Amino acid sequence: MTPLLEVRDLRISFPTGGGRITPVDGVSFALERGRTLALVGESGCGKSLTSLAVLQLVPAPGVIDPSSRIRLGDTDLLALRGEALREVRGRRIGMIFQDPMTSLNPVFTVGDQIAEGILAHFDVPRREAMARAERLVGEVGIGDAKARLTAYPHQLSGGMRQRVMIAIALAAEPEILIADEPTTALDVTVQAQILEVLDGLRESRGMAVLLITHDLGIVAGRADRVAVMYAGQIVEEAPTAELFERPSHPYTQGLFASVPRLEGPLSRLTPIRGTVPPPTAWPAGCRFRPRCPIVHPRSETMPPLLDVGPDHRMRCWLAEGET
């Protein structure tokens, strides 16, 4: 199947006092229509920056390498400028940002902020835009939709604000929805409700979803495929069921060992030692080497993505069967 969104060899660099750093370094993935791809990893691994690059939203002075490729169908997204780029933002690709309180404008009502995207992309009168906004508010699960249109962000709960962000992202009926940590800072019950809303909307609209998360617990049953990121690179990629059944990279195994489990006997969680190093301190060779429980003879050389099974790859020399 031809991918709807294809990212190839994405590199993003920033200047520093000690030279340029590359916090996203050679990331490639594909997203098919109607499917969900989860981009998973600890904070600081480059997930959000990767998603921002799709819409050319990398903050200055960051630069996307000219050799990088991002395609939406037949459209080269990195070649777009001005009005052509604005037509893609919101209209073909919608985005839910992490913190709704910093993304929503406190001086405009919910209805105004949802209708803004509709008016920007469709030639409809304001009355029609507000009617569509009301339908969207109901679609994302907010009760008394008409009354909520006149509310300001501070008058809503965290869960309702996140639902408003989803409505804004869907206002122009995009083909792809990028959800960057859509349940951050929400309690477990509200998290589940938000994720169910996203699942239902994906199915009803036939959208593709790029789900950015650090939580493997919300991936199962929601994503068709998982790409695990570490230190600016994808270190493992596989269909979700395959990854959960056979996590192969030591980092992925460490993530699973850190997830609390309700079933089975109680056991102590095993956190991954250390933290993700900053781009200024990446080690030579395998970037997970200083935290890895396995000392591989070739770990001082950077491994490529190697096959460990059908449609399952990992960036580790263990894939070659050596110890």
Most confident of 152-161, 233-242, 268-277, 290-299: 233-242
> Can you give the pTM of this predicted structure?
0.93
List the beta strands (DSSP E) in the chain.
5-16, 19-31, 36-40, 63-64, 69-72, 75-76, 93-96, 176-180, 208-213, 225-230, 233-239, 306-309, 312-314
Tell me whether residue 272 is in a domain.
yes
In the predicted structure, residue 57 carries a pLDDT above the cut 60: yes
Per the structure, how many domains does the chain have?
1
User: Is residue 128 in a domain?
Assistant: no
- Write the CATH number for 243: 3.40.50.300
CA distances from 127 to 120, 133, 170, 200, 212 (A): 14, 10, 18, 27, 35
310, part of any domain: yes
Please, what is the Cα angle at 97 between 162 and 178, to 5 degrees? Answer: 105
CA contacts within 13 A on the Cβ side of 29: 30
Residue 18 included in any domain: yes
Is it the case that residue 156 has pLDDT exceeding 70?
A: yes
Tell me the residue range of the domain where 27 lies: 5-33+42-82+215-320
Judge whether 188 lies within some domain: no
**DSSP strands (E only) in 188-293:** 208-213, 225-230, 233-239
Please check whether residue 23 lies inside any domain of the structure: yes
Q: 251 pLDDT exceeds 50?
A: yes
Which pLDDT score, from 0 to 100, does residue 271 have? Answer: 84
How far apart CA 98 and CA 274 sit, in angstroms, is 25
Section 91-118 average pLDDT: 92
> Can you tell me which residue has the tokens 């469709």?
122
- Confidence category of residue 300, pLDDT binned at 50, 70, 90: very high
SS3 184: coil
230 falls within a domain: yes
pLDDT of residue 266 exceeding 70: no
The answer to whether position 275 is within a domain reads yes
At residue 262, the pLDDT reads 65
